């Protein structure tokens, strides 16, 4: 994938993959916690908490995808994001219904339902437009169509990024106070001293660098590993790298729901989808458009992603994602994996 190769055999690649995966999970989790400390220190809204959590926990996803697209492996990069979005909506939300302290599953109050409905709408529109962008990628090089498709792709991508910008603005402008819009009570009697904030900033930068370095090694070794077992590159992105890069997000979401922050958990998953799609697919394709050989991403994976988003919207409107719904999400993911492997 990259001009240098640090993993030339399957055992070495396998070892590097798992070691770098552990490092990335630890660094991303700590990075997320430090961002949350900043959020708590400045008494920011629950929307900012879920946004910062998603930014931190999804570093492996959008960075890995951007690196793959930059290296000319669009199938792998797009597969990472599409696969991780399906994983987030099906596996993470499905698991969280069983980890929540409430036996009824994840429940939302009136204000939380109103807030999350808007976020899910943004997520659906961004996801839909991203598939429009992907659809404009040619299946193979063609000098007669590349100029036209590039212009159409660029316009669709800029429109998607505009919607993403409106989504971020919506999160930032959400009110701090009120039921369901702020974090659960914490002790803010003392604002962090200047030196403490400087130390916190240094820790954030350090963990970010470690996470990015780990992602670089993980993606290269993961692609080498899957190539050695003759797995198609798109499946390597959809099923292997997508799941691996989503593990930090899984840890964050489960930790939120176990502490009673069901709303923040659902928001974090939805925010993850929007962030991954915008930063991991749309933005890289603006600068490095390539080719998409596997069109099943559009005919199978795209409809499934949109159906899952619609399902989440339906449950949010009802104000509850029950454990039965969670089990349905888990079964849906397993069926999709089996179908993808069979194809």
pLDDT of residue 50: 62
- Two tokens at 177? 């106070």
Please name every residue paired with 277 in a beta bridge, in sequence order, or none if there are none.
none
Displacement of CA 42 from its chain's centroid (Å): 25
User: Quick check: is 311 in a domain?
Assistant: yes
Strand duo 106-107 + 320-321: pairing: antiparallel
Q: What is the CATH number of the domain that holds 28?
A: 1.20.1420.30
In a domain, 304, yes or no: yes
How many separate domains does the chain show?
A: 1
What pLDDT, on a 0 to 100 scale, did the predictor assign at position 275?
93
Task: Please write down the HEC assignment for all residues of the chain.
Answer: CCCCCCCCCHHHHHHHHHHHHHHHHHHHHHHHHHHHHHHHHCCCEHHHHHHHHHHHHCHHHHHHHHHHHHCCCHHHHHHHHHHHHHHHHHHHHHHHHHHCCCCCCEECCHHHHHHHHHHHHHHHHHHHHHHHHHHCCCCCCCCCCHHHHHHHHHHHHHHHHHHHHHHHHHHHHCCCCCCCCECCCCCCCCCCCHHHHHHHHHHHHHHHHHHHHHHHHHHHHHHHHHHHCCCCHHHHHHHHHHHHHHHHHHHHHHHHHHCCCHHHHHHHHHHHHHHHHHHHHHHHHHHCCCCCCCCHHHHHHHHHHHHHHHHHHHHHHHCEECHHHHHHHHHHHHHHHHHHHHC
307: left (phi over 0), alpha (psi -120 to 50) or beta: alpha
Q: What pLDDT was estimated at residue 333?
A: 96
- Asked whether residue 181 is assigned to any structural domain, the reply reads no
The CA distance from 182 to 192, in Å, is: 19
Q: What is the pLDDT of residue 185?
A: 47
Residue 186 lies in a domain: no
3-class secondary structure per residue, 59-82:
HHHHHHHHHHHHCCCHHHHHHHHH
Alpha-carbon distance of 328 to 32, in angstroms, equals 29
User: Residues 223-259: pLDDT tens digits?
Assistant: 788 777 777 777 878 888 888 888 878 877 888 888 8
The reported pLDDT for the residue numbered 156 is 92
Taking 70 as the pLDDT cut, the residues of the chain under it are 1-8, 41, 43-50, 53, 140-147, 174-195
Residue 179 lies in a domain: no
Structural domain contains residue 289: yes
Query: Would residue 255 count as lying in a domain?
Result: yes
Asked if residue 180 belongs to a domain, the reply is: no
Q: Give the structural domain span for 205.
A: 10-174+193-342
């Amino acid at each position: 994938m990259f001009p240098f190769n640090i993993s030339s055999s399957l055992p070495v690649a396998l070892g590097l993959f798992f070691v770098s995966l552990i490092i990335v999970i630890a660094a991303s989790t700590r990075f997320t916690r430090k961002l949350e400390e900043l959020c708590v220190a400045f008494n920011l809204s629950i929307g900012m908490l879920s946004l910062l959590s998603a930014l931190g926990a999804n570093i492996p996803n959008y960075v890995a995808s951007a690196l793959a697209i930059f290296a000319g492996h669009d199938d792998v990069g797009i597969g990472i994001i599409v696969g991780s979005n399906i994983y987030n909506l099906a596996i993470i939300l499905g698991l969280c219904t069983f980890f929540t302290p409430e036996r009824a599953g994840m429940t939302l109050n009136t204000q939380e339902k109103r807030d999350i409905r808007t976020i899910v709408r943004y997520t659906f529109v961004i996801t839909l437009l991203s598939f429009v962008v992907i659809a404009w990628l040619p299946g193979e090089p063609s000098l007669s169509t590349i100029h036209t498709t590039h212009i159409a792709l660029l316009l669709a991508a800029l429109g998607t990024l505009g919607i993403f910008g409106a989504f971020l603005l919506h999160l930032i402008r959400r009110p701090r106070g009120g039921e369901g819009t702020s974090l659960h009570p914490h002790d803010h009697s003392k604002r962090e001293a200047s030196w403490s904030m400087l130390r916190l900033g240094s820790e954030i930068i350090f963990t970010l660098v470690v996470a990015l370095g780990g992602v670089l090694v993980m993606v290269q070794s993961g692609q080498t590993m899957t190539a050695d077992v003759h797995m198609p590159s798109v499946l390597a992105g959809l099923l292997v790298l997508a799941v691996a890069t989503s593990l930090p997000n899984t840890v964050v979401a489960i930790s939120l729901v176990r502490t009673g922050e069901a709303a923040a958990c659902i928001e974090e998953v939805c925010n993850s989808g929007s962030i991954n799609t915008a930063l991991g697919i749309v933005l890289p394709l603006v600068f490095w458009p390539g080719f998409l050989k596997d069109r099943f991403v559009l005919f199978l994976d795209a409809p499934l992603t949109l159906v899952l988003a619609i399902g989440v919207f339906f449950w949010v409107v009802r104000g509850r994602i029950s454990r039965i719904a969670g089990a349905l999400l888990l079964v849906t993911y397993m069926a999709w994996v089996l179908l993808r492997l069979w194809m």
